[in-house]
């Protein structure tokens, strides 16, 4: 899997988990100290989030980073 495909899959998985939890991008952004636009870029695979950002997203969704990477 190339880098672009990996980021797209990661973003799709984050979006899936977020929607399952009933959380909006705005709400997730607030809990991660990020803007909605940043969450959107991550979910669409247009940016490479740092491990610390992934940890904040996982915390905001009450899951583990491991769960975000399972796809």
State pLDDT tens for residues 3-37: 999 999 999 999 999 999 999 999 999 999 999 99
State pLDDT tens for residues 34-50: 999 999 999 999 999 99
Are the CB atoms for 60 and 32 separated by under 8 Å?
yes
pLDDT at 71 over 90: no
Query: What does the pLDDT read at residue 38?
Result: 96
Once rounded to an integer, what is the mean pLDDT over residues 48-62?
97
Helical axes 36-43 vs 3-20, angle rounded to 10°: 120
Are the CB atoms for 34 and 56 separated by under 8 Å?
yes
Stated pTM of the model: 0.94
| 49 Cα distance to chain centroid | 8
Helix (H) or strand (E) holding 30: helix 25-32
End-to-end distance of the chain based on CA atoms, in angstroms?
A: 12
């Amino acid at each position: 899997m190339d880098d672009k495909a990996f980021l797209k899959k990661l973003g799709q998985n984050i979006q899936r988990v977020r929607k399952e939890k009933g959380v909006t991008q705005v709400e997730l952004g607030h809990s991660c100290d990020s803007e909605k636009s940043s969450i959107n870029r991550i979910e669409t695979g247009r940016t490479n989030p740092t491990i610390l950002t992934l940890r904040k997203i996982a915390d905001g969704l009450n899951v583990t980073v491991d769960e975000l990477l399972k796809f």
